[in-house]
């Protein structure tokens, strides 16, 4: 990916398309400029359809002005005419589509699609009609939108009656004419988008619009303006309502501009945002992790607030608010699980008996004891304080004032303890108490012990002391005696819940309110005269939230402005003019930032330039759809999936201690380890729990990713790994970046070590030893396999079903057999003259003859399936012939001394000396291979008898005490047992190394390791015995690992060391292929070590990859949440509206301060490309 200031903002062929789309959005749907030549009637028809509502509304307006019809009659007439016209248009569109193609249906609107190419035959042709009026996808929308179009025209006529406008503005005819003309243009724009052709909206939230909700957006906002006017008409004089109506009539003219700029949100985003704001500021809740939870929580919370208004007793109201505020702030998922387990356990519901055994062990016993205890104490405290002392007026010596001082002390102490937990105090100064030179988890825990004690003390203050202190402050307020009152009940319902839902913010709000009350309680101010404590807390909480957002957005805007000039790679020819304009119009910029903060909407930097727009309000999650449902799976996905449970536990401790700062919904964190990047998004927060979404990012091999990742590494290394920091406070030299380092999380994950095997696998001596070691390893594998089946007599299918993890392994053996069958069939077609020899001097990358290459290319099957997005082994090798099979040299016919014996009908009968020998014998079908007789004699001479006896003596038979098993030495020295194992080992040895005695080349070792065994007489026979083939491949891979270990650490001195090493491989290692699902299965099972053999095509050498599982210190930093929301808002606009999906665009280039490329990658698909995304994870904070 290219970097620099000359990178285009928009792809060349997209520029004219974007200009046409902007014009279409401004006019409400007419396409007055196409990307192709079109007849004049196409444009004339669009203008007629655009102005038709004005003409139909003008009929009613004229009749009203002539006193022929009253205002409601004129509106009804215009609405009826518009309904008839809309019905005709939809019917015409439906008929044209039916005639053109009977089975064609209206396509689903896709915001990512470009324009189509149209062919116009006539003015009323089906193609022309389809272009002008695409029609609706659903019949219900055809009817519903037509009715809504008639109603819109009716209320528009009523809203813009000239006499009414003149009366509203005191007889000012000029204003009335302007409002009438421009206002009707606004209505026409809304009507066209509803009933004729819906344009692409710049405020796009969804990629697809299957239910055609976008067409309702503009009429909805028009109806809101009309509703205010109708309220002003039919109600008595309401202070300020007439002024608001006059202002809204003027704003009504600017609606097309707002729609063009994307300030007004689409309906789905509007309702989600509205429910989120109502729940957070009106009802004291928190943004939810899903739309269903949000809707359910809003309904339950609103019902609770309404119910509190009907309780006549003030003590009853206090108890009701305290109890329900506590209950609604808990993790309802966990509470529901606990309730379900208790019900099933107590009432013995047969339907759920199977789940009680496992669920009872996971029952949250600590929470089941803690929550009822806290609830009872809170109810007791609130009831007694309000009943005994609640009527006392506030004064400087009252108990409520004393509680205020206690709250101030709690705020100061908890705030200081929280700042001391992080590596940087206030994000600026280095914390001298934080451990230096963090390199291991053990060392970090030792150095962090003092801070851990401080964190535990802060946890007690936050979870226990602060809520009870705030309950006491609220219960002592005498405003509660004025209940029942809707005004007071809503404010206190929110306050009693905020105590538990968001304790830190509630503590700050309560301290601010109490401090103001202590300062001005004697003065006759509006604050004391008109507001109760609950309403004050609501206002202070809203101002606090918006003020924090304003500061964060201002930091983001200043960073964009400053870096657009100071960063060389961000400096463009337009940077200087834009910087000057922002400085000159800085008050306007502050107003835009304040408006964004007021609406809780993102500040959108257009194309990532210092051109700031107000993004439309949207939920804090920023993206539609369920959390964690989509991700681009690849081989790295499994590593993120493995580390999530451990990371969740580490997050629990960090959130409790406060080392990650204020954990509020919408916060973003970034973790970094080796080549892995973890993105953490806080979705929801409640009492003793937090809900997060964890994403895994893939480090792509691009210059942009590399530059930003180096910046992240530099920030973390400076903060955590620098041991030469001075003892006194020092300044964070990365201050101003959107990433602020916070803490280190001890996390259990895999470290990845890759080594080049030059000097190991290419040394002939090591490969000779490998052939000798293979016999010992295959013997150990076969004995271990038979002994394991003896201990566990269950069938292999049942065992796999019992032991298999959620991620099922692939049918590796069938694919290996398929490859071998293909190789055999291809080999049978080759003549003897075409067979090439492979010697020890041959380079394992040399090309084969063109005849064999043409036969093998294209028909080579894939060996191992993997997760979607995984790179196939053949793809990794590129165009090289490295992975193709080579046929070993065979002796010329008639010249060899060895003769192939005919395959016997079956193995000769064997008489064992011991019952144990009979039980440990290999299966009969494993001894039926056809091989040269001379090979059997050679194998008998080379058979490691001492090793075989050692392996047998290590076995433990608890039933050997029985007499019929015989003495242990009888089966160890049983020659029949030796013979059957010899007959099983020999075909495996020939199958893995070939029938000749040549030294295996590095290329042959690599191919055999990956399942492409060389040609031999035993190859087809092994393919027919998949279980034995699996044992042979396993032994060969163990032997390769032995080769690497012996070359690196030295040879084994005794056979016992070798045996111990093999047992360690079996217990703690997975040795296989990194691209297979068995590898992923081993990662999910958390095998301590994993090993695979690879190949570096660029260097032409074999490589090894070793994964080690242990706890590592994982650095984590907090991101500027408004910088993330702003960049995501621009990404959504570029992708959905401008369709700017060019990977080389400017907004995708690296930005060392904003981490722009990583932020784009962390967005939900299809905008971003995370390789892993978890569902909502509920982190307990108790």
Q: How confident is the model at residue 332 (pLDDT cuts 50, 70, 90)?
A: confident
Q: Tell me how far apart the alpha carbons of residues 771 and 986 are, in angstroms, rounded to a whole number.
A: 12
- Which comes out higher in pLDDT, residue 870 or 950? 950
pLDDT for position 809: 39
List pLDDT tens digits, range 1026-1051.
888 899 999 999 999 999 999 888 88
**Interval 642-652 mean pLDDT:** 93
Question: Within 13 A of 1174's CA, how many CA atoms are on the CB side?
Answer: 26
- Burial group, residue 843, by CB count within 10 angstroms (0-12, 13-18, 19+): exposed
DSSP symbols for 141-199: HHHHHHHHHHHHHHHHHHHT-HHHHHHHTTT-HHHHHHHHHHHHHHHHHHHIIIII-PP
Q: Check if the beta carbon of residue 160 is closer than 8 Å to that of residue 253.
A: no
Spatial CA neighbour of 66 closest among 173, 197, 191, 162: 162
Whether 840 shows a pLDDT value over 80: the answer reads no
Query: Is the four-CA dihedral 246, 249, 253, 254 of positive or negative sign?
Result: positive
78-87, 671-680, 803-812, 993-1002: range with lowest mean pLDDT: 803-812
Q: Check if the beta carbon of residue 383 is closer than 8 Å to that of residue 442.
A: no
Whether 286 shows a pLDDT value over 90: the answer reads yes
pLDDT for position 465: 94
Q: Tell me how far apart the alpha carbons of residues 784 and 786 are, in angstroms, rounded to a whole number.
A: 6
109-113, 328-332, 547-551, 1138-1142: range with lowest mean pLDDT: 109-113
Q: Peptide bond preceding 398: is omega within 30 degrees of 0, i.e. cis?
A: no
Whether 812 shows a pLDDT value over 60: the answer reads no
Q: How confident is the model at residue 707 (pLDDT cuts 50, 70, 90)?
A: confident
Whether 335 shows a pLDDT value over 70: the answer reads no
Residue 880: which residues within 8 A CB-CB, separation 6 or more? 845, 1097
Spatial CA neighbour of 835 closest among 844, 826, 843: 826
Query: Which ranges in 973-1076 belong to alpha helices (H)?
Result: 975-993, 1002-1009, 1019-1023, 1026-1049, 1055-1068
Beta bridge partners of 739: 1119
Q: How confident is the model at residue 852 (pLDDT cuts 50, 70, 90)?
A: very low
Whether 961 shows a pLDDT value over 70: the answer reads no
Instruction: State the chain's mean pLDDT as an integer.
Output: 81
Whether 798 shows a pLDDT value over 70: the answer reads no
pLDDT for position 1034: 93
Whether 832 shows a pLDDT value over 60: the answer reads no
Whether 53 shows a pLDDT value over 90: the answer reads yes
pLDDT for position 984: 84
Ramachandran class of 1110: left when φ > 0, alpha when ψ lies in -120 to 50, beta otherwise: beta
Q: Check if the beta carbon of residue 938 is closer than 8 Å to that of residue 1038.
A: no
N residues, the chain: 1182
Beta bridge partners of 737: 735
Q: Tell me how far apart the alpha carbons of residues 257 and 262 are, in angstroms, rounded to a whole number.
A: 8
Whether 959 shows a pLDDT value over 50: the answer reads no
Beta bridge partners of 1114: 745
Helix then strand then coil, in percent of the chain rounded to 5, is 60, 10, 35
**Interval 1132-1161 mean pLDDT:** 88
Structure tokens given for 528:
């004391």
pLDDT for position 884: 39
- Which comes out higher in pLDDT, residue 625 or 997? 625
Q: Tell me how far apart the alpha carbons of residues 127 and 319 are, in angstroms, rounded to a whole number.
A: 69
- Which comes out higher in pLDDT, residue 547 or 973? 547
990 SS3 class: helix
Q: How confident is the model at residue 1 (pLDDT cuts 50, 70, 90)?
A: very low
List pLDDT tens digits, range 171-191.
888 999 999 999 999 999 999
Q: Tell me how far apart the alpha carbons of residues 696 and 86 are, in angstroms, rounded to a whole number.
A: 50
**Interval 626-635 mean pLDDT:** 87
Whether 353 shows a pLDDT value over 70: the answer reads no
- Give the helix/strand (H/E) hosting 361: helix 353-361
578-587, 734-743, 748-757: range with lowest mean pLDDT: 734-743
Q: How many CB atoms lie within 10 A of CB 656?
A: 23
DSSP symbols for 902-918: PPPSSPPP---SSHHHH
Q: Tell me how far apart the alpha carbons of residues 496 and 501 are, in angstroms, rounded to a whole number.
A: 9
Predicted TM-score of the model (pTM): 0.85
Q: Tell me how far apart the alpha carbons of residues 430 and 422 are, in angstroms, rounded to a whole number.
A: 9
């Amino acid at each position: 990916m290219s970097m620099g200031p000359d990178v285009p903002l928009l792809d060349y062929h997209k520029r004219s398309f974007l200009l046409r789309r902007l014009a279409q959005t401004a006019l409400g749907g007419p396409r007055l400029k196409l990307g192709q030549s079109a007849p004049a009637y196409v444009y004339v028809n669009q203008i007629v359809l655009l102005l038709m509502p004005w003409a139909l509304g003008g009929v009613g307006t004229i009749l009203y002005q002539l006193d022929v019809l009253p205002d409601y009659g004129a509106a009804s007439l215009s609405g009826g005419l518009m309904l008839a016209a809309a019905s005709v248009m939809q019917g015409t569109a439906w008929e044209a589509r039916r005639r053109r193609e009977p089975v064609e249906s209206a396509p689903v609107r896709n915001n990512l699609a470009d324009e189509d190419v149209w062919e116009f035959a006539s003015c009323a042709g089906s193609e022309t009609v389809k272009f002008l009026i695409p029609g609706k996808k659903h019949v219900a929308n055809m009817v519903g939108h037509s009715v809504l179009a008639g109603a819109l025209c009716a209320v528009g006529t009523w809203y813009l009656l000239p006499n009414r406008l003149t009366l509203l503005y005191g007889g000012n005819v000029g204003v009335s004419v302007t409002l009438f003309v421009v206002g009707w243009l606004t209505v026409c724009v809304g009507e066209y988008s509803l009933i004729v052709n819906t344009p692409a909206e710049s405020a796009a939230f969804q990629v697809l619009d299957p239910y055609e909700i976008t067409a309702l957006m503009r009429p909805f906002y028009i109806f809101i303006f009309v509703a205010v006017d109708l309220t002003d008409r039919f109600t008595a004089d309401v202070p300020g309502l007439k002024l608001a109506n006059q202002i809204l009539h003027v704003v009504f003219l600017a609606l097309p501009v707002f729609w063009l700029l994307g300030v007004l949100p689409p309906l789905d985003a509007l309702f989600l945002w509205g429910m989120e704001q109502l729940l957070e500021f009106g009802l004291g809740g928190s943004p939810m992790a899903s739309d269903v939870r949000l809707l359910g929580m809003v309904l339950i919370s609103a019902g609770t607030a309404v119910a509190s208004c009907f309780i006549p007793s003030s003590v009853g109201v206090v108890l009701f608010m305290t109890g329900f505020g506590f209950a609604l702030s808990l993790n309802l998922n966990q509470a529901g699980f606990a309730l379900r387990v208790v019900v099933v356990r107590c009432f013995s519901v047969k339907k759920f008996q199977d789940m009680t055994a496992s669920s009872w062990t996971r029952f949250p016993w600590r929470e089941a004891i803690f929550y009822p205890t806290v609830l009872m104490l809170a109810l007791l405290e609130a009831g007694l304080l309000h009943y005994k002392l609640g009527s006392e007026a506030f004064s400087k010596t009252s108990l409520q004032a004393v509680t205020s001082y206690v709250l101030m002390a709690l705020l100061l102490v908890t705030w200081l303890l929280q700042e001391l937990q992080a590596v940087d105090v206030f994000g600026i100064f280095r914390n001298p108490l934080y451990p230096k030179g963090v390199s291991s988890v053990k060392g970090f825990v030792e150095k962090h012990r003092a801070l851990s004690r401080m964190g535990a003390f802060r946890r007690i203050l936050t979870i226990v002391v602060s809520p009870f202190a705030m309950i006491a402050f609220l219960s002592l307020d005498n405003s509660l005696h004025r209940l029942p009152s809707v005004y007071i009940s809503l404010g206190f319902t929110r306050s009693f819940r905020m105590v538990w839902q968001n304790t830190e913010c509630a503590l700050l709000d309560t301290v601010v309110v109490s401090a103001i009350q202590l300062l001005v309680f004697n003065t006759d101010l509006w604050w004391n005269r008109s507001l109760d404590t609950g309403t004050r807390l609501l206002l202070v909480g809203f101002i606090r939230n918006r003020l924090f957002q304003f500061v964060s957005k201002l930091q983001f805007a200043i960073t964009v402005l400053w870096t657009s000039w100071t960063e060389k790679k961000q400096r463009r020819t337009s940077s200087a003019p834009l910087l000057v304009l922002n400085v000159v119009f800085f008050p306007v910029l502050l107003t835009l930032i304040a408006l964004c903060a007021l609406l809780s909407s993102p500040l959108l930097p257009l194309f990532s330039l210092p051109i700031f727009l107000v993004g439309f309000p949207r939920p804090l999650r920023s993206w539609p759809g369920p959390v964690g449902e989509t991700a681009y799976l690849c081989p790295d996905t499994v590593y993120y999936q493995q580390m999530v449970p451990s990371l969740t536990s580490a997050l629990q401790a960090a959130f409790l201690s406060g080392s990650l700062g204020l954990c509020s919904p919408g916060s973003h964190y970034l973790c970094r380890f080796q080549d892995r990047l973890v993105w953490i998004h806080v979705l929801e927060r409640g009492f003793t729990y937090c809900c997060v979404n964890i994403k895994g990012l893939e480090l792509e091999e691009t210059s942009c990713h590399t530059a930003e990742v180096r910046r992240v590494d530099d920030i973390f290394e400076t903060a955590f790994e620098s041991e030469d920091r001075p003892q006194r406070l020092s300044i964070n030299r990365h201050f101003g970046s959107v990433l602020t380092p916070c803490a280190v999380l001890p996390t259990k994950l895999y470290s990845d070590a890759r080594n080049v095997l030059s000097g190991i696998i290419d040394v002939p001596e090591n490969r000779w030893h490998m052939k000798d070691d293979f016999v010992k390893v295959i013997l150990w594998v076969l004995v271990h396999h038979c002994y394991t089946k003896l201990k566990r007599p269950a069938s292999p299918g049942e065992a796999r079903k019992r032991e298999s993890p959620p991620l099922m392994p692939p049918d590796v053996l069938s694919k290996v057999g398929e490859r071998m069958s293909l190789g055999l069939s291809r080999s049978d077609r080759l003549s003897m003259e075409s067979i090439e020899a492979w010697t020890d001097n041959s380079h394992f990358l040399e090309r084969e003859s063109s005849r064999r290459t043409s036969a093998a290319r294209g028909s080579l099957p894939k060996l191992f399936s993997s997760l979607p997005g995984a790179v196939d082994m053949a793809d990794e090798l590129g165009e090289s012939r490295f992975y193709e099979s080579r046929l070993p040299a065979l002796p010329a016919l008639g010249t060899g001394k060895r003769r192939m014996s005919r395959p016997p009908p079956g193995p000769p009968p064997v008489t064992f000396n011991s019952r144990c020998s009979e039980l440990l014998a290999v299966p009969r079908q494993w001894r039926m291979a056809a091989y040269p007789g001379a090979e059997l004699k050679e194998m008998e001479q080379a058979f490691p008898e001492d090793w075989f006896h050692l392996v047998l003596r290590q076995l433990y038979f608890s039933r050997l005490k029985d007499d019929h098993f015989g003495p242990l030495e009888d089966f160890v020295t049983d020659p029949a047992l030796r013979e059957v194992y010899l007959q099983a080992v020999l075909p495996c040895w020939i199958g893995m190394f070939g029938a000749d005695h040549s030294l295996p080349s590095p290329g042959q070792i690599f191919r055999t390791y990956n399942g492409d065994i060389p040609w031999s007489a035993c190859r087809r026979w092994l393919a027919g015995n998949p279980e034995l083939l699996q044992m042979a491949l396993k032994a060969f891979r163990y032997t390769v690992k032995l080769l690497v270990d012996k070359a690196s650490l030295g040879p084994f001195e005794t056979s016992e060391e070798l045996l111990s090493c093999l047992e360690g491989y079996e217990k703690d290692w997975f040795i296989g292929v990194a691209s297979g699902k068995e590898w992923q299965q081993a990662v999910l099972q958390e095998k301590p070590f994993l090993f695979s053999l690879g190949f570096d095509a660029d260097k032409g050498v074999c490589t090894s990859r070793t994964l080690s599982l242990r706890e590592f210190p994982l650095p984590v930093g907090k991101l500027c949440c408004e910088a993330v929301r702003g960049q995501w808002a621009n990404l959504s606009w570029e992708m959905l509206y401008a369709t700017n999906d060019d990977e080389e665009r400017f907004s995708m280039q690296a930005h060392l301060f904003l981490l722009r490329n990583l932020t784009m990658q962390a967005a939900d698909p299809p905008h971003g490309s995370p390789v892993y995304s978890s569902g909502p994870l509920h982190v307990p904070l108790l």
